[in-house]
Structure 1
């Protein structure tokens, strides 16, 4: 006999929204309005007010069915009101996650489960959140048992419990499993490569919302049900489900399943082929709205007893069953929501699903309020007319952030942020990157005006950032040296030089030809980490180079022809010290109006014949144009690239090759790729606002 249902839950009216999960560019000084808002949630779910000054992510509450008042629980707000703790070890994570008291648990690093497959038994009233993109759970996950409620699992990467058997019946290792839990919010996570399912919502678990997650590289994605009782109420929205075979999701005997604005993608030519997409099983009532299905077999299926209403979905290159029928329910009778256009969903989720650098870290608004702001305008309406004048005004050894806001215009000058002025942000205030331009035209072989010699490569930089914890945002940096007119001198011409640690380049354009973006460290024995995101880099010869530990993430690399109109060049030229990480190009695009097969991904730079360096470049999960050679790495200075560290992983596009590993085009294995994530490169640093 079916279990009696509780009376219909009371819908809570939402007040003004709280914006969370913003791109880095919106987190610095709050003056720009580009990028995508990734989630808006009501403010009134907690039974008591949050502490003054708490960051937005610490006070965020669920939307969808997890926001509904029912079963004695007023929405889902996790550990809000409890103590915030930061954990870096399995022992500490388990200690706080299983405690009876409410906690906000910030995971700041990679925690490996022991034994493999371990699922921590989470107690009620918990928020478990990754610190920026650094929170990784490897080889296991979380279990929410009977009666556990008010739990938020957010902004984590949970991965790699896979045991080598695809349809693994022996290892029930999930990322998140619920058996009889209620009021659970799973949001902005990256869940992949587990032994069994990524998410299991079982045994009458209810009032669940799953939003803005990236679910990939798995056999069974997302199972709901395993009960004869028609109980579960669940909202599934804005999830990117990619390269998964089945249960996308499979929804069995759900009382109300509301699926909207999800993106299901099966990429052709890979080792994983979808069996089916959204499945309404048993007596499920499902509403499926404004989702996008690309390449998915049997995209929408239903059992005879199920009710499935479709509205506004898009299907591209799909095949097989695509079904609907019966009457379901009106989601707005339970909660309010706003639909994005189905055509916008793929781009929206490719940029917005998964962990965000702005979640789980210090309050961007609080940091902005504490920052000193200096303004630059050519017309005299600011405090300074040049960028360098504003930088000169920053106190030596300034203890907190100074934001140099540069009004739109073209500033023909060189800018140097010296090493004794940390925490400096130079930020354009225009509507886009192109509105504020810093440009100059020095080259390595040009003589300095004072007659003291030539500039040399680093000295040619238009902008030189030599101070730790500094940033460039929402502007263009260009070196416009006329290479064609000066073939008589060394023509390396740097647009932007970094030679410090914890540098953020967010929403910038870096323009040049040879040696455009040089990323170094203050000294060979010092660490220099650089995080580039949401940006554009152009050039032709060795134009991303140096010994820094650098990540170019979610950006565009544009290839340019040489000064004489020919197509030939190299993207990267790392000179990485042994034992360090080099250059990582991740989730980016390589394009440009150049000839097919004319560019190398990179070559190994041993400065001055230095035999102690061990250059490294990895290009992964990126789209490569036909300009990339079929043998994309090459030697430099008499050193064989095969003796250094060069590799690819899961690239796509006409320049990506077959994807098969070869001596001339090494590909990372899945296990190797797990150790070459963005978090591995940044080493515990969270590049936040």
Structure 2
């Protein structure tokens, strides 16, 4: 007991010293060198928060809406709208009275260092300035774990009224927006967490990027600036990685190879001018990959056989989601399964979700697929010269509320004499100034097994949503 008392005194003294340093302006909220919370410090932080707010009457409880949610790395998530009241700062690191609740149960501790929220999670949060950065109690994705998150700004306990920012009252969440979390097949039969809980590193060169991605340890790799290769430089990505672009980050002339690996997230990166192979090669039984808010393009000064595809998902790859990405200025965009004869092992694999993506100035393959089960919803296809969606070799594609404009042939199963595939949901789409579909098989009734209806937008809303929300985000 004496030993524990001494340890708690040391921890308390350390906290006082750190607060003093923060007031002086040199202890940053995002400090990444801090060690995990010692026993007792978590309890002390939480107790002090409760004591500071005890006896305060209930008032309105605000909802953390999924439309404003985005990853902040690791287990941390950040709302994308400003709070009405400013919270902690370097000069006042514990001034916030915000209390956070998960399904009505209070979580914490509050005032947590941001790197600890990313690395440790477990309900830690920070009301920093007018931003809320937080983690779920079990480190799951708050946007997809089915729980509600509410908060009070004045230290009060929850009331029965939930007010959504913007003035509407009620418990119904708005449709999932561009900064929501993972949806679709990358969270089926497991989930995709990338490098959550691992070391965070920032790279600025090709050699540093190869090193950072070259082992199986969980790691969050931030790319800063423009990294250029020769056109067909390739990097093997090992398992358990989050590869995240800082604002303005790009990879040019570089291919990322994901062979026999799993649990990878790629976000907020511009990929340019990748020769021969795809910018992202997801193959050889690789599974649970999430590609989100990226941009893919070439300069179209060479023929069809010169530039690689944007994304290839082949050779028994499985459980992939591609969301809020922009594809433009290329001929062959996305390939799912690389062939028919000799690729029969792809049957029962290639479960892929593509939602809220934007294709323009692309010739074809948005995407094309063989054998797999592919779900497309709320994608925008603008002005292609060949076909948009192709299904071959018995594969099935479900479309929900797609928007096609100025497309020569939106949907086809009639491709180069290959055995056809199947489509379902074709009547949910909007076809504006398009040629006719060329579907030679009976319309299927297949739908994916996961729930997605709450994330589904009306087809008429897709052009505005997608043109505004796709591609790398300016803040991350």
Q: TM-score, normalising length from structure 2? A: 0.59
2:199 pairs with one of 72, 77, 83: 83
Shift of 1:49: 4.4
**Which of residues 241, 251, 266 in structure 2 aligns to 1:137?**
251
Residue 84 of structure 1 and its aligned partner are, at CA, apart by 1.1
Q: Which residue of 2 aligns with 1:592?
A: none
**Counterparts of 1:63-462 in structure 2 under 5 Å?**
63-69=183-189, 74-113=190-229, 115-132=230-247, 134-146=248-260, 148-161=261-274, 171-180=275-284, 181-193=286-298, 195-226=307-338, 227-228=343-344, 229-230=346-347, 231-254=349-372, 256-266=373-383, 273-303=384-414, 305-309=420-424, 310-323=426-439, 325-331=442-448, 333-337=449-453, 338-359=455-476
Report the CA distance between 1:327 and its aligned residue.
Answer: 2.1
SS at match of 2:231: coil
Unmatched tracts of structure 2, length 5 or more: 1-63, 72-78, 86-117, 127-132, 142-180, 300-306
The 8 Å contact of residues 119 and 196 in structure 2, kept in 1 or not, is answered as no
The change in CA–CA distance for 1:350 and 1:178 in structure 2 (over 3 A counts) is same
Using the alignment, how far apart are the partners of 1:105 and 1:137 within structure 2? Answer: 13
* Conserved? CA contact 1:285–1:328, under 8 Å: no
User: How far apart are 1:27 and its partner, in Å?
Assistant: 4.4
RMSD: 2.8
Q: How many residues align?
A: 305
CA deviation profile, 1:424-456 (whole Å, cap 9, x unmatched): xxxxxxxxxxxxxxxxxxxxxxxxxxxxxxxxx
Deviation at 1:51, TM superposition (A): 8.0
Pairing 1:560-571 to 2, within 5 Å after superposition: none
Rounded to whole Å, the distance in 2 between the matches of 1:100 and 1:246 is 35
Secondary structure in 2 matching 1:118? strand
2:59 is matched with which residue?
none
Q: Could you tell me which runs of 5 or more consecutive residues in structure 1 were left unpaired when the two chains were aligned.
A: 1-14, 33-45, 162-170, 267-272, 360-689
Q: Deviations over 1:552-599 (max 9, x none)?
A: xxxxxxxxxxxxxxxxxxxxxxxxxxxxxxxxxxxxxxxxxxxxxxxx
SS at match of 1:140: strand
Contact 1:51 1:81 (8 Å CA) reproduced: no
- Helix, strand or coil: the match of 1:283? coil
**Partner-residue secondary structure (3-state), 2:185:** helix
Distance across 1 between alignment mates of 2:202 and 2:123? 18
SS at match of 2:232: coil
Task: Report the counterpart of residue 493 of structure 1 in structure 2.
Answer: none
**1:30 matched to 2:102:** no
- On the 8 A contact 2:123/2:134 being kept in 1, the answer is no
Tell me by how many angstroms 1:158 deviates.
0.6
The whole-number CA distance in structure 1 between the counterparts of 2:81 and 2:451 is: 33
In structure 2, the CA distance between the partners of 1:48 and 1:327, relative to structure 1 (3 Å rule), is farther
Shift of residue 116, structure 1, vs aligned partner: 2.2
Q: CA deviation at 1:52?
A: 3.3
The CA distance in 1 between the partners of 2:120 and 2:446, in whole Å, is 32
Q: Secondary structure at the match of 1:223?
A: strand
Higher relative contact order (CA 8 A, sep 6+): 2
Given that 2:124 and 2:134 are in contact with CA atoms closer than 8 Å, whether structure 1 keeps it comes out as: no
| Native 8 Å contact 2:380 2:404 kept in 1 | yes
Indicate conservation of the 8 Å contact 1:118/1:173, yes or no.
no
Which one has the bigger helix percentage?
2
Contact 2:278/2:309 (<8 A) preserved: yes
Instruction: Measure the CA separation in 1 of the matches of 2:314 and 2:451.
Output: 23
TM-score, normalised to structure 1, is 0.42
Do the aligned partners of 1:140 and 1:173 also contact (CA within 8 Å) in 2? no
Q: Distance in 2 between matches of 1:290 and 1:246?
A: 20
Please say if residues 225 and 253 of structure 1, whose CA atoms lie closer than 8 Å, have aligned partners that are also in contact: yes
Closer, same or farther in 2 for the Cα pair 1:355/1:99, shift >3 Å?
Answer: same
Q: Deviations over 1:216-252 (max 9, x none)?
A: 1101100001222312111010000111111111011
Q: Report deviation, 1:56.
A: 6.8
* CA displacement at 1:30 relative to structure 2: 2.6
Work out whether residues 70 and 80 of structure 2, in 8 Å CA contact, stay in contact via their aligned partners in 1. no
